Structure 1
Amino acid sequence: MEKVKGIRPDYYRRNGLDLFDFFELIMPRPWVIGFYVLNIIKYVVRFPKKNGKEDLLKARTYLDRLIEFIGKKGEEKHD
Structure 2
Amino acid sequence: MEDKVNHPSHYTNGKVECIEALEAATTGLVGIEAVCTANAIKYLWRWKHKNGTEDLKKAKWYIDRLLKEAQ
TM-score of the alignment, normalized to the shorter chain, above 0.5:
yes
- State the match for 2:59 in structure 1: 59
Q: Which TM-score applies when normalising by structure 2?
A: 0.57
Equivalent residues in 2 for 1:33-44, closer than 5 Å? 33-44=33-44
- State the match for 2:68 in structure 1: 68
Give structure 1 stretches of 5+ with no counterpart.
Answer: 1-28, 72-79
Amino acid at match of 2:30: P
SS at match of 1:58: helix
Give structure 2 stretches of 5+ with no counterpart.
Answer: 1-28
Q: CA RMSD in A?
A: 1.3
Q: After TM superposition, where is structure 1 displaced by more than 2 Å over at least 4 residues in a row?
A: none
In the alignment, the residues of structure 2 paired with residue 34 and residue 65 of structure 1 have an alpha-carbon distance, to the nearest angstrom, of 12
Aligned-residue offset at 1:30: 2.1
Aligned-residue offset at 1:68: 0.3
- State the match for 1:47 in structure 2: 47
Q: Which TM-score applies when normalising by structure 1?
A: 0.52
Equivalent residues in 2 for 1:27-38, closer than 5 Å? 30-38=30-38
How many equivalent pairs are there?
Answer: 43
Counting aligned pairs with the same residue, the percent is 40
